[in-house]
Amino acid sequence: MTGWHIIGAGMAGYLLLLARSAWKQGELRQFLRSLLIVALLIGGIAGVVATVIALDSP
């Protein structure tokens, strides 16, 4: 496994632990909504960066 695989597995494990904690506290819906918002923000930033790279390259 490469370093990126280990980092990805660690992040996935951490998110699973957070989801389990939110579920036990009855806040799973709020956790999932927050996770969706963060994913949309990161996706938007990635889209802007990809657009800038595409427009800047010859």
pLDDT in tens, 22-46: 999 999 999 999 999 999 999 999 9
Q: Please check the confidence at residue 58 and state whether its pLDDT lies above 80.
A: no
List all residues 6 or more positions away from 19 whose beta carbon is below 8 Å from its beta carbon: 28, 31, 32
Q: Please, which pLDDT band fits residue 16 given cuts at 50, 70 and 90?
A: very high
Print the domain residue range for 51: 3-56
Contact 18, 30 (CB under 8 A): no
Supply the DSSP symbol for 25.
Answer: T
**pTM of the full structure:** 0.76
Tally of domains within the chain: 1
Contact 31, 22 (CB under 8 A): yes
